Amino acid sequence: MYLQHKMRFLGAILCLIGPLALPCASRADTDPAMAAYKAADYATAIPQLEAACNRNPKDPLVHAALLSALVYEGAVDQAFDAADAAAAAFPDSPDVLAARGEFAFYMGDMPEAEKLFRAAGRLRDQTARAYYGLYHLYLAASMYRTGRLFCLKAHDIDPDDALITRAWMRYLVPEKRREVLGPFVQSHPWLFENAERDRDANLQVAQELNARKIFEPEGEPKDVTVRLSPLLYDPSRIRGFGIEFKIEGGRPLKLLLDTGASGILVRQGVIDKAELEHLGSGEAWGIGDAGVRKTFSAIANSCEIGGLKYKACLIRATEGKQRVGGEEDGLIGADVFSDYLLQIDFRKRLLHLTPLPARPPNPQGYDREIGRDRAGFTPVFRDGDHLFVTTRVNDKNTGLFLIDTGASMSNIDSTFARLSTKIRGDDFMRVRGVSGQVKDVFEADKAFIQFARFRQKNLGLTSFNLNNYTGHQDIRMSGILGLPILAMFRLTIDYR
């Protein structure tokens, strides 16, 4: 997927090109610390690995495992210390290089992550975590076919690594996946904390759909232009843009167009007024320190989004009377239109949708394609429902900033900000999101933000913890590019 503007991107293909070496000997059978690490039970492994590092200060494999475990658990400060120590002690260890690559990936420095993964592979071609890291990197870059090959290679090298095995299972045929998934979940419950809840919710939705396809368009897809309605703080300040939404021919609702979200999320009252059945349970998380919000799903037989008519519409809703965000009825992620090429023209307040050509099903997946008409576009990274663009701050540190049309201002993560500028407490600024009020808000000193060919000086950039989600995150968010910056551009998004 792409945004307009040009930027260098990932190179090379599957082969890491390095001297062939024997696989690392596994010590999981005899070493409890490494056994916990191999099982992806990182919370258990970390204290044991710390003790093992003290006992074996010259063992690079143990130090690499500790760094990898700290990264997975999101222990940033400890990971920084472990990465610096391991890099100084073992600069040429392929295991340490791969673990440092995982840390760079987590922190959003994708060029550095790729460099480290490839360096590990050149030193020892049988470094499973180097291939696994490249799998994650290419998946985030919409290089699905090549990412699959990296994942299969990683599993061939180390089938005992539970984290690699979990990724590998997604590429099995359904019959084989069902056969191996149950026992794997039972033996690795820490990797599937909400599996039973999610399985029950998916079953209820599937039963309600009764083999129907969600968001099936009425008629053949065609070019459509949707008018965007400004959502205002006051007569002179726009905080976002809305799209009209109707459920089964009901009254028009207003949804915030939010590239930082996924699907349709509304308040419970919308579902209850439409007399739709509550299905399953889930969670929604966003800006704020109140934690996750409970959600449920519903299926509408029909809905209309900005003039586009669909059948079997999947809608999520937050429990209770509290609104999702501002005064609007909910929000809609841009990925709802992933079958189209999206062009968002903020100045004209228009959303242009052009149907993408159909592609035949391919079990190996597709890699992104760069057509001549997209030669000047900037590739973006995708992590779940988030679209990120590589951003540099003060010419010092590189991270991933969320492209968020639903954010009324741009922000920088407080941990990332400290790497390149100074921050101070701001007692007057109030920030609120899907997860309630933000408790600790800071102001960053001058920050030059650069992405693609755009560079902007920001004075007093608002800063707070953007990564307070209690669950695991593959990528740490470095900042948010909100509407004030994005509105200067005409965004073109291809989700494929």
**Cα-based distances in Å from 164 to 117, 137, 160, 309:** 15, 14, 8, 41
- The arithmetic mean of pLDDT across residues 85-90, rounded, is 98
Q: Report if residue 205 sits inside a domain.
A: no
Question: pLDDT by residue (tens digit) across 341-363?
Answer: 999 999 999 999 999 988 888 88
Domain identity same for 22 and 171: yes
Q: Report if residue 437 sits inside a domain.
A: yes
Domain identity same for 308 and 437: no
Asked whether 351 and 306 are in contact (CB, 8 A), the reply is yes
Q: At 105, is the pLDDT very low, low, confident or very high (cuts 50, 70, 90)?
A: very high
Average pLDDT, the chain: 87
What pLDDT, on a 0 to 100 scale, did the predictor assign at position 291? 63
DSSP code at position 8: -
The amino acid sitting at 137 is: L
Q: Report if residue 207 sits inside a domain.
A: no
**Cα-based distances in Å from 403 to 270, 336, 337, 364, 473:** 27, 16, 16, 29, 17
Please state which of the ranges 23-37, 67-81, 101-115, 347-361 shows the lowest mean pLDDT: 23-37
322, pLDDT greater than 70: yes
Domain limits for position 115: 12-192
From 317, 339, 355, give the residue that closes a domain.
355
Cα separation, 421 vs 409, in Å, equals 19
Region of residue 138 (phi > 0: left; psi between -120 and 50: alpha; otherwise: beta): alpha
Number of domains in the chain: 3
Q: Report if residue 125 sits inside a domain.
A: yes
Domain identity same for 314 and 402: no
Domain identity same for 236 and 325: yes
439, pLDDT greater than 90: no
From 130, 160, 192, give the residue that closes a domain.
192
What pLDDT, on a 0 to 100 scale, did the predictor assign at position 287? 65
Q: Report if residue 342 sits inside a domain.
A: yes
Cα separation, 156 vs 23, in Å, equals 10
335, pLDDT greater than 90: yes
Domain identity same for 330 and 394: no
DSSP string, 103-135: HHHHTT-HHHHHHHHHHHHHH-TT-HHHHHHHH
What pLDDT, on a 0 to 100 scale, did the predictor assign at position 459? 62
Q: At 19, is the pLDDT very low, low, confident or very high (cuts 50, 70, 90)?
A: very low
Question: pLDDT by residue (tens digit) across 137-185?
Answer: 999 999 999 999 999 999 999 999 999 999 999 999 999 999 999 999 9
27, pLDDT greater than 50: yes
Please state which of the ranges 44-48, 81-85, 307-311 shows the lowest mean pLDDT: 307-311
**Cα-based distances in Å from 9 to 2, 221, 381, 436, 486:** 11, 32, 11, 37, 22
Q: Report if residue 361 sits inside a domain.
A: no
What pLDDT, on a 0 to 100 scale, did the predictor assign at position 420? 83
Greater pLDDT, 309 or 320: 309
**Torsion (CA) 118, 122, 124, 130 in degrees, nearest 10:** 10
Cα separation, 29 vs 466, in Å, equals 39
Cα separation, 339 vs 305, in Å, equals 14
What pLDDT, on a 0 to 100 scale, did the predictor assign at position 336? 94
371, pLDDT greater than 60: yes
Q: Report if residue 250 sits inside a domain.
A: yes
Q: At 197, is the pLDDT very low, low, confident or very high (cuts 50, 70, 90)?
A: confident
Q: At 466, is the pLDDT very low, low, confident or very high (cuts 50, 70, 90)?
A: confident
Tokens 């843009």 — which residue? 241
What CATH number has the domain bearing residue 83?
A: 1.25.40.10
Domain identity same for 344 and 399: no
Domain identity same for 271 and 158: no
Question: pLDDT by residue (tens digit) across 244-295?
Answer: 999 999 999 999 999 988 999 999 999 999 999 999 988 876 666 656 789 9
Domain identity same for 326 and 258: yes
Q: Report if residue 372 sits inside a domain.
A: no
Domain identity same for 343 and 386: no
Domain identity same for 231 and 104: no
Domain identity same for 93 and 181: yes
What CATH number has the domain bearing residue 326?
A: 2.40.70.10
Candidates 287, 198, 277; CA nearest to 468 is: 287
Please give the radius of gyration of the chain, using alpha carbons only, rounded to the nearest integer: 23
Candidates 362, 359, 363, 361; CA nearest to 173 is: 363
Domain identity same for 21 and 169: yes
